[in-house]
Amino acid sequence: MKYISVLCMFCLIFMAATCKKNDRVAAQLAGKVWLHSFEEDEEGLWVYRPNTYDFPPSRGRTGFSLEPGGVFKRFEIAPADGLEEEQGEWEQLEKDLVQIRMTQGSTPPVDYRIQIVSLDKDLLKVRRME
């Protein structure tokens, strides 16, 4: 009986630690504006950095943010070189998989998934999946 209690406690701790890791991914992505650091892209991977990063000069950068409540904001380069915001929804499907659904009228109006390949506080690498 003593060992069963220890085993149950171990299982509970393991499950709690696993849940925290999944929440940690969404928490690290959410609330930041991530801009495309296209200079660092690798074969099939898109690299993003927070908007506070010291980027080299460019004619504009696209990006996105994941807001609380499942609000997704995509930033495209506007005709006057600023950023134009389009909204959609996001949902974390798995630890490393986020579903994006753009609202009607966005350009392009596609739904897609991004697989998080690596993530730390100032570097995000994703693979876009249709």
Q: What is the pLDDT of residue 108?
A: 67
CB 114 within 8 A of CB 95: no
Return d(Cα 65, Cα 100) in angstroms, integer: 11
Tokens 């991004």 label which residue?
A: 114
Assign residue 99 the CATH number of its domain. 2.40.128
pLDDT tens for each residue of 53-86: 999 998 889 999 999 889 999 999 888 777 889 9
Return d(Cα 51, Cα 74) in angstroms, integer: 13
Q: In one letter, which amino acid is 33? A: V
| Sequence-separated (6 or more) residues with CB below 8 Å from residue 14 | none
CA distances from 74 to 28, 41, 46, 66 (A): 17, 19, 15, 9
Return d(Cα 93, Cα 112) in angstroms, integer: 12
Arithmetic mean of pLDDT, 92-99:
90
Which residue range forms the structural domain that includes residue 122?
2-129
Give the global pTM.
Answer: 0.76
The tally of domains found in the chain comes to 1
